[in-house]
Amino acid sequence: MANTIHVDVVSAEESIFSGEAEFVVLPGEAGELGIYPRHTPLITRIKPGSVRIKLPEQDAEELIFVNGGVLEVQPNVITVLADTAIRGHDLDEAKAIEAHKRAQEALQTRTSKLEYAKATAELAEAAAQLAAIRKLRQRK
């Protein structure tokens, strides 16, 4: 049996994933993080993007899109507390493209710093969703 670590991915709405994994890769604020069993304890914020969970003794990885949140790593458990989390197969490309277009338009018509910040965050989320969809499509 493979060396594993327990992983929980939860959002405000529901538990998205709970199980064992060989490793997890996700978008940290300072770059992509790879977490293996017995990793040094860590707490950090995460950016919008894909969480890839390598399932034990399988070639497939579980892909989950997160729109930011917090990562906590303990030697035997990884917890991802996501603002929003969507299973890879539930991502909607048409909605992500439309959200990307709306965010780009909002950047062009912004009238305040707050509107600019909101549009920038929405653009980052839509771009991250589209990247997750592309990753999922490449695996098939």
Q: For residue 139, what pLDDT band results from cuts at 50, 70 and 90? A: low
User: What are the structure tokens assigned to 99, written together?
Assistant: 């959200």
* Domains delineated in the chain: 5-88 (2.60.15.10), 91-139 (1.20.5)
The string of pLDDT tens digits covering residues 34-91 is: 999 999 999 999 998 889 999 998 888 888 989 889 999 998 899 999 988 888 777 6
Q: Is the pLDDT of residue 94 over 80?
A: no
Q: Is the pLDDT of residue 138 over 90?
A: no
